[in-house]
Amino acid sequence: MVLRSVQREWCFPENNSQWKTILQVIIIVTFSLVTMLLVVNADDVGYAERRDDGIFCTLQQNAGIVTSVSLMVNGQSAVSAGKRLVAMENRVDVGLHVNLTEGTPTAPSHQVPTLLEGGYFLGKMGFRTALREGKISLDQVRQEIAAQFEKFHRLLGYHPHHADGHQHIHVLPGVRDVFASELHKHSVHWTRLPIEPHITHACWVSTARRQFYQQITDDARQSLAVFASHGIASTRHFVGMATMGADMLVSRIVSEIRQVSRDPQCTSTPSATIASHEVPCAAAVSPPVRTGESQQESVSPSSSSCTVELMVHPGYALMAGEGGCGQGPDDFAQSADRDHEVSVLCDAELRRQLCDDLQVQLVRWSQLSVTQATMADADPVAAAT
């Protein structure tokens, strides 16, 4: 198919066999120069011990493909999860999963009253409605985010490798500015930018969810300049809203990643370097990188790197009243969808197709080093459409 397209474009004669040989060499060389670096990030560690068990399963050597996690510091199992993560040394990157929508706050309740109702956060849609109506104090948002950063440091003894928002609150108007400022203050240089331009074509996702995900994508696009102005980068591409829970299939993940690989920007502009301890395709996590090790091995100067984040939510289903952030588990936490994600992420066929067929390199956030303002100089929506 590729050969035919190039043959028509360049007007090679149909019966000329030499052009086929020449083009095959060109295509092989071109694709060998492209390195797709994939961060697989599991959200919600610290929510409940059984959920954590599922997440840690996807982190095991030769089992899952998860390379990084985001910690909910106000979750029921945050303390035990923190201890387990510290015990893993530097074999997994841990980020802060900023939570402003579920459960109880980390800051004293009297300091963040506009974020609460009856002592609890307002919920995914309640927070968005209150923010839109001007009822949320952004100064209180700052206090709560700062408190979560402080607790993260108490639990793990270091600052997060990255930070993102529970239910994507970090890209909402106003919140994005406060979030970016706090990341800059705590020397966090990576965040998630949930721009999934093809979400409207995910026919297996309900219309209501597609509309909600499209709004998240629009909000994320508006966050580009804000994050860039604070020196905060993200991967060039994001995948994950169309492959959550029961919607996660090996074929869908591979299809989404393959779609990303067709972006011309992934084959034109080097955007990152990778640390010397790559996550090999033979294992989900790399050997430990001791504190203080800063050796960096750049992707070859003649090569290009296409950086992608795959957002996932593995875990084991919870019982009513088990875990959560102070209000018990939500419906998603109690469903079999979390178990399903564990199974998919530990499926050897997924690893084979990503690593062997698509030549993906599994990496952690700390293994990406920005050499230019990733996502600040290009519109990923325009690039992918």
Torsional sign, CA 366, 370, 373, 379 = negative
177 is catalytic: no
* C-beta of residue 68 within 8 angstroms of C-beta of residue 364: yes
At 179, list the tokens. Answer: 């979030």
Q: Distance between CA 24 and CA 2 in Å, rounded?
A: 9
Nearest to 333 by CA among 163, 102, 145, 128: 102
Which pairing describes strands 368-370 and 93-98: parallel, antiparallel, or unpaired? unpaired
Quickly list H helices, the chain.
Answer: 2-10, 17-32, 49-59, 78-87, 124-132, 138-156, 175-185, 207-229, 250-261, 331-334, 337-345, 348-351, 380-384
Q: Catalytic: which of 43, 52, 164, 337? A: 43
Between CA 358 and CA 308 the distance in angstroms is 13
CA–CA distances in Å: residue 254 to residues 14, 208, 248, 307, 353: 33, 25, 10, 15, 7
d(CA 314, CA 330): 14
Written as six digits, the tokens of 14 are: 């149909």
CB proximity list for 32: less than 8 A, separation 6 or greater: none
Establish how many alpha carbons lie within 13 A of residue 197's alpha carbon, considering only the half-sphere containing its beta carbon: 14
Residue type at position 264: P
Which tokens sit at 85?
């993560």
Interatomic CA distance for residues 94 and 159, integer angstroms: 9
Beta partners for residue 368, in sequence order: 274
Pairing mode, strands 296-297 and 272-275: antiparallel
Q: Which residues form the catalytic set?
A: 43
